[in-house]
Amino acid sequence: MRAARRFTIRGRVQGVWFRDSTRRQAQSLALTGHAINLDNGDVEVFACGAPAALDSLAEWLQRGPPLAQVSEVIVAQAEWQDLPGFLIR
């Protein structure tokens, strides 16, 4: 089974290695997608893979890497995309 989700992470999430740490976490869970910095200071994560792996990523995103201070994670279902890996944009 495969699924896709879009996460918007708010708080102190830029300049703290959030995207790279997310990429490593997603790769360890066999997820594909991307992490990008948004102009408003948030980070957007789009991930595709097994629902259980997406749940694990969602749990990790609640805290992020050690220097991050996550205040909110907004989750939305998304349309599956067949992507080659997990990229940082």
Indicate which residues carry an active-site annotation.
19, 37
CA angle 37, 25, 40 (to 5 degrees): 15
- Output the CA–CA distances (angstroms, integers) from residue 87 to 21, 66, 72, 77, in the order listed: 11, 21, 22, 19
